[in-house]
Homo-oligomer: A and B are copies of this chain.
Amino acid sequence: MGQLLRVQNFTVSSDGYGAGEGQSLERPFGHADPGTIMSWAGATASWPGRTDAGGSRGLDDYFTRDFGNNIGAEIMGRNKFGPQRGPWENEEWQGWWGDEPPFHTPVFVMTHHARPSFTLSDTTFHFVDGTPAAVLAQAKEAAQGQDVRLGGGVAINRAFLDAGLVDTLHVAVAPVKLGSGERLWESPEELDDRFHHDVVPSPSGVTHHLFWRK
């Protein structure tokens, strides 16, 4: 079947924003409240951040439990790793993901600023510069036959979509407006020229949009 590049569980507001304005160390989503945007995922049994044994096992849980299914590497943008911009000033700070990052694979952080790789638990972060196609080639090799997850944020997803490299895309649209920030799209239908598109309303209130290459 070949290795796919998959976007999974990427959540945007009803007006298409994946993050608000003004990202900082304390506010990774800027003025957006991640608790509101991501509440559909946090309510599921398979959400990686869950600390108790509860959680729903309905439709939304199929999406969160597919997160690591046959994934061998992730590509993410620098802003998903941390709020620093420009040359790395503090290499002791190892990103937003804690001592046990939820990725469990190699992660390729796209940045123009070199930095040595390091490992936290079973996740190794590599810092890579290059075109989307070149970074994808590195990630596919590291994934050893499994698929590659494209982890966002918005700018990275747009760059790989524009380069025609995304095979499947799952975006959950939350029933909340942000008004400004990092915008994935004005409307999901913008992608219909290139992708098949299932629209699946969830009982939780989000609408899942599933795209796969035509």
Tell me the A residues contacting B by CB distance below 8 Å: 1-2, 45, 53, 56-59, 62-63, 65-66, 69-70, 167-168, 196-200, 202-203, 208, 210, 212
Q: How far is the CB of A104 from chain B (nearest CB, A)?
A: 14
Given A66-B65, A66-B69, answer yes or no on A58-B203 (Cβ-Cβ < 8 Å). Answer: no
Can you list 28 contacts pairing A with B, beta carbon distance less than 8 Å?
A: A1-B45, A1-B53, A2-B53, A45-B212, A56-B212, A57-B167, A57-B168, A57-B196, A57-B210, A57-B212, A58-B197, A58-B198, A58-B210, A58-B212, A59-B198, A59-B200, A59-B210, A62-B62, A62-B63, A62-B66, A65-B66, A65-B69, A69-B69, A198-B202, A198-B203, A199-B203, A200-B200, A200-B202
Identical chains in the assembly: 2
Report B-chain residues with C-beta under 8 Å of the C-beta of A45: 1, 212
Report B-chain residues with C-beta under 8 Å of the C-beta of A210: 57-59, 62
Report B-chain residues with C-beta under 8 Å of the C-beta of A57: 167-168, 196, 210, 212
How far, in angstroms, from A208 to B66 measured CA to CA in the complex?
Answer: 17
Report B-chain residues with C-beta under 8 Å of the C-beta of A63: 62
Q: How far is the CB of A68 from chain B (nearest CB, A)?
A: 9
Report B-chain residues with C-beta under 8 Å of the C-beta of A59: 198, 200, 208, 210
How far, in angstroms, from A2 to B208 measured CA to CA in the complex?
Answer: 28
Report B-chain residues with C-beta under 8 Å of the C-beta of A56: 196, 212
Q: How far is the CB of A106 from chain B (nearest CB, A)?
A: 21
How far, in angstroms, from A66 to B57 measured CA to CA in the complex?
Answer: 13
Report B-chain residues with C-beta under 8 Å of the C-beta of A198: 58-59, 202-203
Q: How far is the CB of A57 from chain B (nearest CB, A)?
A: 4
Report B-chain residues with C-beta under 8 Å of the C-beta of A200: 59, 200, 202
Given contacts A58-B212, A62-B62, A199-B203, 6 further A-B contacts (CB under 8 A): A58-B196, A58-B197, A58-B210, A59-B210, A65-B66, A200-B200
How far, in angstroms, from A208 to B168 measured CA to CA in the complex?
Answer: 21
